[in-house]
A = this chain, B = another copy of it.
Amino acid sequence: MGQVRNILFIMCDQLRADYLSCAGHPSLQTPHIDGLAGRGVSFSRAYCQSPMCGPSRMSFYTGRYMTTHGATWNGVPLRVDEWTLGDYLRPLGLRVALAGKTHMAADGVGMARLEVNPHSERGTLIAECGFEPFDRDDGLRPGIGEPEEHAYERFLRAQGYTGDNLWHDVANSAERSDGKILSGWQMRYADMPARVKEEHSETAYMTDRALDFIEEAGDEPWCLHLSYIKPHWPYVAPAPYHKIYSVDDVLPANRDAAERIDPHPVYGAFLNHEDSVNFQRDEVRERVIPAYMGLVKQIDDHIGRLLAALEEAGRLDDTLIVFTSDHGDYLGDHWLAEKELFHEESVRIPLIVADPDPAANWTRGNIEDRLVEAIDLLPTFVDALGGQAQPHRLEGRSLLPLIRGRSAPEWRNAVISETDYAFRQARLDLEVAPEAARGWMLCTERWKYVHWEGFRPQLFDLENDPKELRDLGGDPAFVDVRIDLNEDLFDWLRGRRTRVTISDEEVARRTAGSKKRGYLFGEW
């Protein structure tokens, strides 16, 4: 083991924190990810900054909260002068590349205003969220407005697959005995194998691409973001992963009839979304969850392949490896599907950091319960590579003190996550204006408080109600708790870093310096 030289930043999409064997899932076995956990630290209370792909990822990549970076939902462009991972790591000598998904929407208007040529090297980096797009693949191609095939589809075509939209027709559909294509968009087919062979599936392909990159990079230091689309929908697994798990492996839903009685208005509106209504049925859970587990199992196997290759190349000794996800998946818990709200199933993420540095030896295999956030990763990377902390932009904290046992006396006592449901049917049902469809979660060791614009707050007591089945947001007995947490949220919000063009050190250097610069005001 040695100093950190490379970073392998693995992200899954929509992988719940509790769907790993090292996180306690009783039947899903993920030995390779468990092995990574054994080499590193697992964070049991890691939270995404927004339980939605786009904004969550923009927080991972910018190191800033959603309200700060402003890309609040899928398809909302990240403003052109938000710094991203590459801006921090390239000056430290790393090649920074992507294999897989970012959900980045380029700020075309901002680029045009500044006359940034999107076809230039710089323009490509800006449009690709700072990553060299070794193989950008957002994993979804409905085919509407996106005529061009992705590299993965060209790969499928080269393997002899045929069809109009290979992503859909081959990788994310099943086939009836008579040859009819059964779309993976329909969850009823989740128990059938994908038409694609396992070795040509998205997870296998992207792992291959990661290995290609690592080989190509050779001795040059690198940061590779290997970003799997799975186990995100369409919930279709290639054989044999479609049938490794069965209805017997489906855990009971975490839900209670009382949750639906006089629910919080926003929660109530999400209960009515089609995906939630479907996941409220046992039949759906029983069909989908085994496929979801199979997709996780498949990822685990490919991570095993990846780790073996790294070991062979000697890269395990100088590569910091992160395994995480952008958010969770309700899978019917709390009568919901998808994500976007703030129950643990949605907002808590798996996070394992395996640090090769000998200073981390004594924490290997540890489970760390302190509260951490997605935005902590970027400062961690900068710290591990010996770069300078840049708190005037980076709103997270390096995790190295927790990993290397350096003192971290004043760790945070709350995490934040935010949601913008402006783009969702729930907003229309609630008659909320596009700019006011916001929720802000502040979660401490014990309490989870959610401030909703225009509605009463939610409050859960994680100590006495760890399953979050009783919303205390309107209970008069907890008014003092809510007032305190609301004040904490205000404190947090006032601390957002928008003064980004000058470092705190530079501010300190200039403090009380006007006269040195010749501005002799106020003299008699």
Q: At the interface, yes or no: A119 with Cβ under 8 Å from chain B?
A: no
* Chain B neighbourhood of A261, CB < 8 A: none
Mark contacts of A97-130 with chain B using CB atoms, 8 A cut-off: 1 yes-contact digit, 0 otherwise: 0000000010101100111100010100010000
Check A386 for interface membership: any CB of B closer than 8 A: no
Q: How far is the CA of A279 from the CA of B521 in the complex (A)?
A: 12
Chain B: CB-nearest residue to A190: B524
Asked if A440 and B518 sit within 8 Å, CB to CB, the answer is: no
| Pairwise interchain contact B499-A76, C-beta atoms closer than 8 A | yes
Contacts of A511 in B (CB 8 A): 422-425, 427-428, 434
A27-35, A139-147, A219-227, A408-416: which lies at the interface: A139-147
- Across-interface contacts of A68 in B (CB, < 8 A): 498
**Interchain CB contact under 8 A, A144 and B494:** no
Q: Does A75 contact B (CB under 8 A)?
A: yes
Q: For the complex, what is the distance from the CA of A511 to the CA of B423, rounded to whole Å?
A: 4
- Of the listed stretches A181-189, A442-450, A465-473, chain B binds A181-189
Cβ contact of A504, chosen from B67, B87, B144, B434, cutoff 8 A = B434
Chain B residues with CB below 8 A from A79, complex form: 81, 500-501
Q: Are the C-beta atoms of A428 and B498 separated by less than 8 Å?
A: no
A489 to B491, CA, bound (A): 11
Establish whether residues B120 and A497, one from each chain, have CB atoms under 8 Å apart when the complex forms. Answer: no
CA distance A126 to B115 in the complex (A): 11
Q: Which residues of B contact A495 (CB under 8 A)?
A: 435
Complex: A348 Cα to B187 Cα, angstroms = 61
For residue A160, CB closer than 8 A to chain B, the reply is: no
Binary contact readout A439-480 vs B (1 if CB under 8 angstroms, 0 otherwise):
010000000000101000000000000000000000000000
Among the listed stretches A38-46, A208-216, A270-278, which one makes contact with chain B, having 4 or more residues with CB under 8 Å of it? Answer: A270-278
A109 lies within 8 A of B75 (CB) = no
Answer yes or no: A391 CB below 8 A from chain B CBs. yes
- Is residue A486 contacting chain B, with contact meaning CB distance below 8 A? yes
Q: Which residues 494-516 of A sit at the B interface, judged by CB distance below 8 A?
A: 494-502, 504, 507-508, 510-514
* Cβ–Cβ < 8 Å partners of A425 in chain B: 511-512
CB neighbours (8 Å) of A523 from chain B are 185-187, 274, 278
Give Cα A490–Cα B492 distance, bound, in whole angstroms: 11
Chain B, residue nearest A234 (CB): B521
- In the complex, the chain B residue whose C-beta lies closest to that of A510 is B423
B residues less than 8 Å from A83 (CB atoms): 113
Q: Are A498 and B274 in contact (CB under 8 A)?
A: no
Knowing A81-B80, A518-B144, say if A72 contacts B109 (CB, 8 Å). Answer: no
Distance to closest chain B CB from A328 (angstroms): 15
Nearest opposing residue in chain B for A141, CB measure: B518
Asked whether A69 and B498 contact (CB < 8 A) given A115-B120, A512-B428, A521-B185, the answer is yes
A435-B392, A522-B278 known; A81+B110 contact, CB < 8 A: yes
Task: Flag whether A77 is at the interface (Cβ < 8 A).
Answer: yes
Also in contact, A71 and B486, with CB within 8 A (given A428-B511, A518-B143) = no
Least Cβ–Cβ distance between A363 and chain B, in angstroms: 30
Residue A180 at the chain B interface, CB threshold 8 Å: no
A162 to B337 Cα, complex, angstroms: 78
Residue of B nearest to A491 (CB): B453
A-B contact pairs, 18 of them (CB 8 A): A67-B498, A70-B498, A78-B501, A83-B113, A186-B520, A187-B524, A233-B521, A234-B521, A273-B522, A274-B523, A279-B522, A423-B507, A423-B513, A424-B512, A434-B507, A440-B494, A451-B494, A489-B490
Q: Which residues of A contact B (CB under 8 A)?
A: 67-72, 75-81, 83, 87, 105, 107, 109-110, 113-116, 120, 122, 126, 140, 142-145, 183, 185-188, 233-234, 273-276, 278-279, 284, 337-338, 391-392, 420, 422-425, 427-428, 433-435, 438, 440, 451, 453, 486, 489-490, 493-502, 504, 507-508, 510-514, 517-524
Q: Given contacts A115-B122, A275-B521, A337-B522, list 18 more A-B pairs with CB under 8 A.
A: A70-B498, A70-B499, A70-B501, A75-B510, A76-B499, A81-B81, A114-B126, A115-B116, A140-B519, A143-B518, A144-B518, A279-B522, A338-B521, A423-B507, A423-B512, A423-B514, A428-B511, A435-B499
